[in-house]
Structure 1
């Protein structure tokens, strides 16, 4: 009899509850990763995530081989593939970390019905600081608003101490067949757009710990530097956390005593938990407005030629707004974007261009190496004003002001080289000063014009039973 470890978004050996529990059984262990594009359907991983996955699986397999084991690769609907593998291996148990995306919850339920008699599915927690759904209000209901959620989480912190990886995994006498990772075609070609990502990232558990070690030197000043795109003030841990190459508990314990403004960073770790709690309550949060009034919002249709032109300009970093363009070009080159610039770029799409937040969410889903269903959906609905806890739509970011406020000149010079020669005074809005070079586009819409158009669109849905300020206040009080 063997024990199977089912890996998904938990590609690590340290502080990995499923791995440790499987080893404790004392039976041969078969680690497996299944590339399942069927179960998620339209939520199959995007191109940038697939690039990361390839390299993370290589790293995980290398780590397993050092412990006398290896990673088995299979493709297909996960529940069916695991049911078949359990029979092949005569497995008595499958250990995995519990996942909360709606398609994985469905797969876990289906798997329990497909397993042979005598084989159990044993799920463990470990993707978040605390199990989603475990932090509730005084009346026992889930939180919908972040701030009280943070207060409740803070009382339960720190999380349990992280546990070391095992020093050996017992191998089966005969290994089941495994597919070849190269045959999965996860890496881009014709063209290979991943060069910038390869130069910037090191996927895998070792890469995650290197990033954490680097961040510890500046974690103390995080609250002051995280909003400055030209400085390396962020942790760069988001893709490593998304793929589970490092546990949030390990990150918390490593940073919690850094002092200074590190609490700001800890609050962002809790935001991951908050997002997971939201999708647990609203599984379709990535495609459905939380506030029904936004179902009537007059978004511009990307199928129309002029709207599609604006969308493509945004996606390629050709809007004429340097801070927006720098962010979108950084995304294309590295699969990542600075957190402050993400908000600016997202707000620009939704409010300046009046393009549905779901279009932007899908764009980020395909292009971000840290594309996470919960965080991506919650962040986009926060920006659009359509979420259960969100920014008011009428708070429209002024990208040119934001660029200057957060000292983005050098960031723009790096990612928009056409403007590199401009002074700090002119680079944030070269068109206003008559300094726009011919190689750089004009603004696709003026800020004042965009703001007036956005407010007029919002006015069409604002009203009784909608999302006015009084209704928002009542909602927050109830939550």
Structure 2
């Protein structure tokens, strides 16, 4: 008897190398595809949100690709916990397929969906797709989750087998995609309750086609990655993080590229991909870390939480050029270079003595590539509150970081143009310059530092040191 399945797309907005879709095509005779604009997430967002527009374009391209295959994408808007079981029942589906999601809220949602489907006699299959290893697949010899990255990475690499990053091939089974006689309408951004943003003017390639463009460009630069990745003023990183976040590229393909390419650049990039999985498995095993410090001794630190200083940090007006340039990059583009994420996080927590969760929430509001596991893990690393964290006594000096990673001041000049006339020595710490350009007045054209780094460093050491003892 012919069987029918529903493939539910979420953070896997592609047809290529798609584990749930491939399994559905193998196991069933007719496959319907659906994406839900989830109101339980969207309702909390501002009317203009770059991520919603990024997703909308990816979904539109996915829909068009399915149409070219003679099928279509059903696009819904509402609560998937209600819509998915209802749709599966209406279509007469015998099973629903989707990719596993490891965030606490997503796990709760999937449990609700699975239970409702079970009551209707419909199977629910959540398959691993956004990571190489998930859940309990990488454990210590004692059967515990790793809480330090390097041992985790070593275990990850030791276990890795070509079958783990083998890509799924489904082209021969496309005839099993459901045909739709009537055109399925996709809601516009406005109908979803959102307006256009500046996403298109940022010239970020969108959808799976955009992801392929970026990947091709990066593969040509991969050999230099280890030497260039820490310098925000040059084109050194992959810029693939939004596409990896929303699954317009598969992690298996990226790992395969890194392994086949070889060399220091590819090895360093692979290590970054493994960091992503390290944070994913941490959130799975320790969901409490999503809302509180991983280390119990740092859960009630007496942060000063000065709101005026926090606002200066948010707006890029701290008087520390590298910090301000980074925060303005985030506000302007929805993205921030990874080295800068570490610098500004350390500055907020260790210099301004503000709770890391304030910064984490700000990043969550603006980052196009926002991923709960990676964002939380990165902030707790910088704040010294997480597992495998930066030790509390290691505090980034924003001036020396600026001098080292933006030595000519190119990045600062791009995002803090009021400093463009300063030379490459003065631009990192204008208040220390013996001579400033004519017409430039510190305190008028650019602020004095809102804190003294040396003094705040001692305060941070005292604050964390009390708890460490």
Q: In structure 2, do the counterparts of structure 1 residues 164 and 205 end up closer, same or farther at CA, with 3 Å as the change threshold?
A: farther
Q: Which residue of 2 aligns with 1:452?
A: 458
- In the TM superposition, what whole-angstrom CA distance separates every residue of 1:292-332 from its partner, at most 9, and x where no partner exists? 1112211123xxxxx22211111111111110111111111
Q: Pairwise mapping of residues 354-373 of structure 1 onto structure 2 (< 5 A)?
A: 354-373=353-372
Q: Which residue of 2 aligns with 1:377?
A: 376
Q: Which residue of 2 aligns with 1:467?
A: none
**TM-score, with normalisation over the residues of structure 2?**
0.91
Q: In terms of mean alpha carbon deviation, does 350-359 or 158-167 score higher? A: 158-167
Q: Pairwise mapping of residues 92-111 of structure 1 onto structure 2 (< 5 A)?
A: 92-111=94-113
Q: 2:75 aligns with which of 57, 73, 76?
A: 73
> Structure 2 stretches of 5 or more lacking a match?
none
Q: Pairwise mapping of residues 311-390 of structure 1 onto structure 2 (< 5 A)?
A: 311-390=310-389
Please say if residues 77 and 192 of structure 2, whose CA atoms lie closer than 8 Å, have aligned partners that are also in contact: no
Q: 2:135 aligns with which of 132, 136, 139?
A: 132
Please say if residues 45 and 365 of structure 1, whose CA atoms lie closer than 8 Å, have aligned partners that are also in contact: no
- In the TM superposition, what whole-angstrom CA distance separates every residue of 1:189-248 from its partner, at most 9, and x where no partner exists? 5xx4x25x6423122111111111111111112111111111111111111111011111
- In the TM superposition, what whole-angstrom CA distance separates every residue of 1:404-444 from its partner, at most 9, and x where no partner exists? 01135101111111111211111111121053643212111
Q: In terms of mean alpha carbon deviation, does 127-136 or 9-18 score higher? A: 127-136
Task: State the distance in 2 between where 1:444 and 1:160 align.
Answer: 49
Q: Which residue of 2 aligns with 1:49?
A: 51
Please say if residues 73 and 181 of structure 1, whose CA atoms lie closer than 8 Å, have aligned partners that are also in contact: no
What is the CA-CA distance between 1:261 and the residue it aligns to?
3.2
Q: Which residue of 1 aligns with 2:19?
A: 17
Q: In structure 2, do the counterparts of structure 1 residues 425 and 217 end up closer, same or farther at CA, with 3 Å as the change threshold?
A: same
Task: State the distance in 1 between where 2:147 and 2:460 align.
Answer: 27
Q: Which residue of 1 aligns with 2:165?
A: 160
What is the CA-CA distance between 1:149 and the residue it aligns to?
0.4
**TM-score, with normalisation over the residues of structure 1?**
0.89
Task: State the distance in 2 between where 1:44 and 1:165 align.
Answer: 38
The answer on 1:420 being equivalent to 2:420 is yes
What is the DSSP-based 3-state SS (H/G/I as helix, E as strand, rest coil) of the residue aligned with 1:427? helix
Q: 1:277 aligns with which of 270, 281, 284?
A: 281
Please say if residues 7 and 31 of structure 2, whose CA atoms lie closer than 8 Å, have aligned partners that are also in contact: yes
Task: State the distance in 2 between where 1:63 and 1:147 align.
Answer: 41
Q: Which residue of 1 aligns with 2:151?
A: 148
Q: In terms of mean alpha carbon deviation, does 406-415 or 254-263 score higher? A: 254-263
The answer on 1:244 being equivalent to 2:281 is no
Please say if residues 25 and 170 of structure 2, whose CA atoms lie closer than 8 Å, have aligned partners that are also in contact: no
Q: 1:171 aligns with which of 168, 175, 178?
A: 178
Please say if residues 222 and 261 of structure 1, whose CA atoms lie closer than 8 Å, have aligned partners that are also in contact: yes
The structure with the largest helix share of the pair is 2
Task: State the distance in 1 between where 2:47 and 2:120 align.
Answer: 32
Please say if residues 89 and 176 of structure 1, whose CA atoms lie closer than 8 Å, have aligned partners that are also in contact: no
Q: In structure 2, do the counterparts of structure 1 residues 260 and 462 end up closer, same or farther at CA, with 3 Å as the change threshold?
A: closer
Please say if residues 352 and 445 of structure 1, whose CA atoms lie closer than 8 Å, have aligned partners that are also in contact: yes
- In the TM superposition, what whole-angstrom CA distance separates every residue of 1:268-307 from its partner, at most 9, and x where no partner exists? 1001110111001111322111111112211123xxxxx2
Q: Which residue of 2 aligns with 1:297?
A: 301
The Cα RMSD (Å) is 2.3
Task: State the distance in 2 between where 1:137 and 1:179 align.
Answer: 47
Q: In structure 2, do the counterparts of structure 1 residues 186 and 429 end up closer, same or farther at CA, with 3 Å as the change threshold?
A: farther
Q: Which residue of 2 aligns with 1:397?
A: 396
Q: In structure 2, do the counterparts of structure 1 residues 417 and 2 end up closer, same or farther at CA, with 3 Å as the change threshold?
A: same
The answer on 1:263 being equivalent to 2:267 is yes
